[in-house]
Amino acid sequence: MEQNKTKNRLMENESYKETLPYERFSRFGAEALTDAELLAIILRTGTSTLTPTQMGALLLKKGEKYSEGLSGIHYLSLDEIKSVPGIGDVKAIKIKCIAELSNRIARCRSLQLLEFKSPAMIADYYMESMCHKDKEHVIVAFLNHQMAFIGDEVISVGTVKNASVSPREIFLSALKNKAVYIVLLHNHPSGDPIPSSADDEMTRQIYEAGSMLDIKLQDHIIIGDHRYYSYLEQHLLENI
């Protein structure tokens, strides 16, 4: 009788083991795992009351206010991530790094379809990474003579209302990247992409500096709350 009980317990343990994310990964591959299970593998350990998978599900729930699924986690702050029981500094940083890696992989894939001659497509490419930021970020995209994307760089991070930009820094980076054209982008945390007089002045300075260096400012795009404003579309660059 005792032997049968032991056998039953072993069978129950094997059955439970097969439901764990690591074992499901080994048997079926990563594509078979749910989003919560993928997060569980990263988290590794749970608490006395929560399994790693349950912790992953709580993270996904918190991210829903920004976006559905795993993309919502990208916008969670470290404090929001650490509000899930069992997640401290180390695990929170891992989650943020993996979310950023996922975002960069997605951006690299989208580059294959991106046409940098189109303001709408450029704005769409940067929209999700910029529209939720609570401070102004200034990014410069570098293009070659065929308008193909070379790379980009965050030039400045400012306050809720503005970010200071040095034309010198922009064109040092442009020269380093051997850019022929540049596209300037920045976000308005208010959500309204309409340019201010300061934005107009910044555009004028960079346009004029680029003209002297033979590096053309192709466009200045302002990102709002899922809206954008393009100086090129508004035919303003030639009238600066």
* Residues 6+ positions from 234 with CB-CB distance below 8 Å: none
Sheet with 228-230, side-by-side order of all strands: 149-157, 137-143, 181-187, 216-223, 228-230
Q: For the chain, what are the domain ranges?
A: 34-108, 115-239
- Give the number of C-alpha atoms closer than 13 A to the C-alpha of residue 18, restricted to the C-beta side: 7
pLDDT of residue 129: 86
pLDDT of residue 189: 93
SS3 content of the chain, % helix, strand, coil (to 5): 50, 15, 35
Nearest to 184 by CA among 215, 159, 160, 213: 215
Instruction: Answer whether 72's CB lies under 8 Å from 94's CB.
Output: no
pLDDT of residue 112: 56
pLDDT of residue 19: 59
* Residues 6+ positions from 138 with CB-CB distance below 8 Å: 154, 155, 156, 157, 158, 163, 165, 184, 185, 186
pLDDT of residue 222: 97
Low-confidence ranges of the chain (pLDDT < 50): 5-18
**Domain 34-108 shares a fold with domain 115-239:** no
pLDDT of residue 18: 45
| Backbone φ and ψ of 81, nearest 5° | -65, -40
Rg (CA), the chain: 24
Length of the chain equals: 240
d(CA 93, CA 78): 7
pLDDT of residue 10: 37
* Residues 6+ positions from 143 with CB-CB distance below 8 Å: 116, 149, 150, 179, 180, 181, 182, 183, 218
CATH number of 34-108: 1.10.150
pLDDT of residue 123: 93
Which CATH class, in words, describes the domain spanning 115-239? alpha beta
d(CA 70, CA 125): 18
d(CA 95, CA 70): 11
Gap between the terminal Cα atoms of the chain: 91
In order, the DSSP letters of 18-50 are: TTSHHHHHHHH-GGGS-HHHHHHHHH----SS-
pLDDT of residue 70: 84
pLDDT of residue 9: 41
DSSP-derived secondary structure letter, 196: P
C-alpha dihedral, 111 to 175 to 165 to 132, nearest 10°: 10
pLDDT of residue 13: 44
pLDDT of residue 195: 94
